[in-house]
Structure 1
Amino acid sequence: MMRELPEWYYDEFIQVGTDYTDKEEILHYDQKMQKIRNIGSEAETMLRLIGLQQEDRVLEIGCGTGEFSIELSRHCKQVVALDVSEGMLEFAREKAKSKNRNNIHFTKGSFLTLEPDDGPFDAVVTQLALHHLPDFWKLIALQHVGSMLRTGGRFFLKDVVFSSEIHDFDPFISKLLQSIPEQVKDEMTREYILHIKEEFSTFDWVIEGLIKKAGFRIEEAFYENGFLATYLCIK
């Protein structure tokens, strides 16, 4: 069920960054993610941190092509999977169907819009999605995530988060772009540049403050390469 939002609320459905509406583009994205990410290892880390139980209900925000929702669904009672792209959702539905996963509910939505029908979730997970919101709206989004979790529920957050220990970003970004694997270098370079120019990734001290302000305790935090962070948070 979608919330009725005031007129002044941020529109999460505005396209920011790469536009994934074409079926061929979505298929290409899915194949690219299989090449450049270790999906199995990432899913294993997520599952270990949130400690899923068989009767748990889980919300994934920004499910993309459904890879992690499908893996989560093997370990819990129900997954509600949100994305702002109807094309991504349709692709994810077909993928889940092909793998006989029938306990996933894919629906259009994101951080600000969902109003759960069946009570609070036991866990919420999101990866590489919160940076689509400016910092003010990150706090509103995190507060809403908290409102959808039971007390003691787990919140897994992974996103692009820049280290406050970096003092000169010119050489850092140049080195980051040079480190992109050759097989995806041209495409990923364009995407990285678009991300840095137009999206809303923030600093570690900012996101930590927002998480705590929203009513979470940071149980574990992992930082990688000066620009990627993973948090396990408890409500």
Structure 2
Amino acid sequence: MKTYPEWQYDEMKQVGVDYTDTKEVQDYDSRMQKLRNIKKETEDIINIVGLTAKQVVLEFGAGTGDLSIEIAKHCKMVYAVDISPVMLEVANKKAKSHDINNIKYYHAGFLTYEHQGEPVDVIVSQLALHHLPDFWKLVALKRINAMLKKGGKFFLRDTVYSFEVENYKEFFDNWLNGIKPVAGEELASDTKIAIRDEFSTCDWIMEGLMNRAGFTIDTLSYHDGFLAVYVCTKK
């Protein structure tokens, strides 16, 4: 097993919810089934990046595998990467139950995944990059860029703050109060932990990181002050 310098950020450590715990992963999977429309997400990504049946996709933060399974139906191969071995186990079982055989699973993250094959056509990441501090986000984005073919596409959906910082107290209170009636106390509690302990950055910082990492931002959109979607092309 490859070792890394002691000074490298430990992306394997669990911050907030422990997704190495089987029950937590099962609870997460159950919540996502209720809150997300995976088929719609997949259709949107396929259309936005122009995915074809001959292309290869890499997903960082694959979680319990729903998006990878749907994408695998529309492309040649999917490499699914996640730091939680329990989530990967659940994802692998799901894929087999759907008779999906063109997904390869890897226990790794943005900083530790070592891609062995040809550069890929598309890289996707949803709600994972904010787990890294900004310096390590840039390292991760440069690594992502290096794994893509020339002209390859990078789709990122993540927690990125686009509200006025002067209003942060009011914004966070309103955000948390809005979550409770829609998604329940548990998700509101998870969000509180994410605000406090994770590394969501600002819109202008993320745009600068993308540029420095070697991407052209084709489209970007900000939603509700905390969610961003970027579609980028490798320069």
TM-score, scaled relative to structure 2: 0.95
Q: Residue 64 of structure 1 aligns to which amino acid in structure 2?
A: G
**% identical equivalent positions:** 49
TM superposition shift of 1:4: 5.6
1:210 counterpart residue number: 209
Q: In the aligned structure 1, how far is the partner of 2:2 from the partner of 2:200?
A: 26
Structure 2 stretches of 5 or more lacking a match?
A: none
Q: In the aligned structure 2, how far is the partner of 1:5 from the partner of 1:104?
A: 27
SS at match of 1:87: helix
Q: In the aligned structure 2, how far is the partner of 1:163 from the partner of 1:184?
A: 22
SS at match of 2:172: helix
> Is the contact between residue 76 and residue 102 of structure 2 (CA under 8 Å) also seen in structure 1?
yes
Q: In the aligned structure 1, how far is the partner of 2:111 from the partner of 2:19?
A: 21
SS at match of 1:168: helix
Q: Residue 104 of structure 1 aligns to which amino acid in structure 2?
A: I
1:38-75 superposed Cα distances (whole Å, 9 cap, x missing partner): 22222221111111111111100000000000011011
> Is the contact between residue 221 and residue 231 of structure 1 (CA under 8 Å) also seen in structure 2?
yes
1:53 counterpart residue number: 52
1:119 counterpart residue number: 118
> Is the contact between residue 121 and residue 153 of structure 2 (CA under 8 Å) also seen in structure 1?
yes
TM superposition shift of 1:187: 0.3
1:220 counterpart residue number: 219
Q: Where in structure 2 are the equivalents of 1:1-235 lying within 5 Å?
A: 5-182=4-181, 184-235=183-234
> Is the contact between residue 131 and residue 201 of structure 1 (CA under 8 Å) also seen in structure 2?
yes
Q: In the aligned structure 1, how far is the partner of 2:155 from the partner of 2:31?
A: 23
Runs of 4+ in 1 over 3 A off after TM superposition: 2-7
1:80-118 superposed Cα distances (whole Å, 9 cap, x missing partner): 000000000000000000000000001101111122211
SS at match of 1:193: helix
SS at match of 1:161: strand
Q: In the aligned structure 2, how far is the partner of 1:167 from the partner of 1:198?
A: 20
Structure 1 stretches of 5 or more lacking a match?
A: none
Q: In the aligned structure 2, how far is the partner of 1:131 from the partner of 1:101?
A: 29
In structure 2, relative to structure 1, the CA distance for the partners of 1:3 and 1:113 (3 Å cut) is farther
In structure 2, relative to structure 1, the CA distance for the partners of 1:220 and 1:170 (3 Å cut) is same
Q: Residue 216 of structure 2 aligns to which amino acid in structure 1?
A: R
Task: Name which of structure 1's ranges 40-49 and 116-125 shifts more when overlaid on structure 2.
Answer: 40-49
SS at match of 1:100: coil
Q: Residue 133 of structure 1 aligns to which amino acid in structure 2?
A: L
> Is the contact between residue 38 and residue 70 of structure 2 (CA under 8 Å) also seen in structure 1?
no
Q: In the aligned structure 2, how far is the partner of 1:123 from the partner of 1:88?
A: 22
TM superposition shift of 1:183: 5.9
CA RMSD after TM alignment: 1.4
SS at match of 1:205: helix
Q: In the aligned structure 1, how far is the partner of 2:165 from the partner of 2:210?
A: 21
In structure 2, relative to structure 1, the CA distance for the partners of 1:228 and 1:183 (3 Å cut) is closer
Task: Name which of structure 1's ranges 24-33 and 220-229 shifts more when overlaid on structure 2.
Answer: 24-33
TM-score, scaled relative to structure 1: 0.95
> Is the contact between residue 66 and residue 93 of structure 1 (CA under 8 Å) also seen in structure 2?
yes
TM superposition shift of 1:234: 0.2
